[in-house]
Structure 1
Amino acid sequence: MQTEWLNLNGTWYYLNSSGAMHVGWIQLNGIWYYLKSNGAMACNESLTISGKKYHFNASGKCTNP
């Protein structure tokens, strides 16, 4: 199975090679994304992860990796 992005009702998820939703940090094409514990991509928000505050734009890109 290929890895791929999946949009369900406006929320983005990333499926790994076994078809499971990825959770945590992932770097794709030099861009860092964060998938929350439910698999949803962080976007248009700021999150504190391991004591550091990160900002995510509308595309889900972490703007301060």
Structure 2
Amino acid sequence: MSTPSYSPSESPFLDRVRRTIRLNHLSRRTEKSYFYYILDERAFRIDRTLSAIGCMKA
């Protein structure tokens, strides 16, 4: 599985998450972990949705 790119500039949502993390004075490493978790979850949901409607081969 490829590692997702985590650039807050790609998404207003990720930019908002980044600002919130920094306002709460969390570490950059925590920020990076949160971004990877969010992107992994998004990829999982998209794959699951596509397979449910039959767009992907099993």
Whether the TM-score (by the shorter chain) exceeds 0.5 is no
- Flag the structure with more relative contact order, 1 or 2, with Cα contacts below 8 A and sequence separation at least 6: 2
Greater percentage in helix: 2
- Which structure has the greater CA radius of gyration? 2
Give the TM-score taking structure 2 as reference length. 0.23
Give the TM-score taking structure 1 as reference length. 0.21
